[in-house]
Amino acid sequence: MKTLVINCGSSSLKYQLIDMNTEESLVQGLVERIGIEGSKLTQKVEGREKYVLEKEMSNHKVAIKYVLEALIDKEQGVINSMDEISAVGHRVVHGGEKYSQSVLIDEEVLQSIKDCIPLAPLHNPPNIIGIEACKELMPNTPMVAVFDTAFHQTMPKKAYICPLPYELYEEYGIRKYGFHGTSHKYVSNKVAEVLNKDIKDLKIITCHLGNGCSLAAIKNGKSIDTSMGFTPLAGVMMGTRSGNIDPSVINFLIEEQGYTIKEVDNILNKESGILGISGISSDFRDVCQEAEKGNERAKLALDIFHYKVKGQIASYAGLMGGVDVIVFTAGIGENSSLTRTECLKGLEFLGFSIDEEKNTVRGEIQEISTEDSKIKVYEIPTNEELMIARDTVALL
Ligand code: ADP
């Protein structure tokens, strides 16, 4: 049984074909610059040279058509015909309050995803375009929507209601939703499996630190709080996003300094965080390199990043009345031993100790706490695509 996983962005599309009998990823691909000059499809199959196709792809439907062709291509492909694809799992960013689980896509579900567009105006539209294009090209193949928000629907009201007039929640749905749910769910379940423990007996803090960053407090297998909020702008500092700041800054910039709302929105989403403070890059590796050379702003960016994540870990340990496992994942979390060390430094009183040698391991499942550590600390590579494929198969 082979499942195609599709993750559609506004001008890009990531895909994987996963053999669900073995959970092996057969193909990983990326289409970039959809609808822009210079469209490009890159497909990777283990043991083969990268396949690159540069052709005009004016929209997502054209892009998906090329993806399907690449999958069944005699030389570059891995399957003989599209009939071998038994289902398609789509990443959908926002499922609002309606979806606490993945769901088979029918007309009603598609409409509900459309109804969530105001909550995720940048993300849900390309997700919908991806679903509609696949439906047109593969009308008989079942499709499943897997929502970034779903895992966090278990949060209690005290965690998700914003301290604003309650009517704003009732009328407009303004509340904390949380994101990266598929990743938090995957790594928390994986660490429980690695520890050979029932997730229902564990208090876990998961730190998803990539370009976007969020943490989740997971008690008895359920997300009870998470750092992103109404949108993925909230929480800890990120590559280009500010995370939490005093909201009055927005008014100050507009009323006193003459910025437009659009400019402020752009600053908060695209010019802040690691990029904004360092003035160098949003890419963590670049900033680490500059910090090593002594660049003060680069050092400050790293300091603030680690300080914010550390504060969030401490807060979740407190809110859960303790913690059994801390997990680091995503680009920075899986690779940066510096980040893991700095985010944990000073929190040893919680009851862990770090094995600095194990902590140098990158990008694989690795315990980084010492053997006698009461609290376990792990790096676990995330695998949102596999989680999407698993949910897809489970729904069939
Ligand atoms: P996305 O949120 O786009 O999926 P990723 O999870 O791929 O992002 O994370 C990207 C971030 O991970 C970038 O800031 C990148 O610099 C950082 N990163 C990747 N490899 C390393 C590494 N070896 N050391 C430190 N940071 C790394």
Question: pLDDT tens-digit profile of 90-114?
Answer: 999 999 999 999 999 999 999 999 9
pLDDT tens column, 207-245: 999 999 999 999 999 999 999 999 999 999 999 999 999
The residue whose CA is least distant from atom 3 of ligand 1 is: 211
CA of 368 to the centre of ligand 1 (A): 19
Question: Can you spell out the DSSP letters for 43-71?
Answer: EE-TTSPPEEE-----SHHHHHHHHHHHH
User: What pTM, to 2 d.p., does this model score?
Assistant: 0.94
| Pocket (CB within 6 angstroms of ligand 1) | 210-212, 239, 283-285, 330-332, 335-336
CA of 54 to the centre of ligand 1 (A): 26
The residue whose CA is least distant from atom 27 of ligand 1 is: 332
**Active site residue: 19, 106, 115, 148, which one?**
148
pLDDT tens column, 343-391: 999 999 999 999 999 999 998 999 999 999 999 999 999 999 999 999 9
- Whether 148 is catalytic: yes
CA nearest 392: which of 17, 8, 12?
17
Sorting pLDDT into bands at 50, 70 and 90, what band is 9?
A: confident
CA of 248 to the centre of ligand 1 (A): 31
230: tokens are 């109404």
Q: How far is CA 48 from CA 35, 78, 343, in A?
A: 28, 11, 39
CA of 312 to the centre of ligand 1 (A): 20
Q: Coil, helix or strand for 10?
A: coil
50 burial level (CB within 10 Å; 0-12, 13-18, 19+): exposed
Ligand 1 binding pocket mutation candidate from 14, 91, 211 (most atoms within 8 A of CB): 211
pLDDT tens column, 174-205: 999 999 999 999 999 999 999 999 999 999 99
Evaluate the CA torsion angle 376, 157, 148, 208 in order and state its sign.
negative
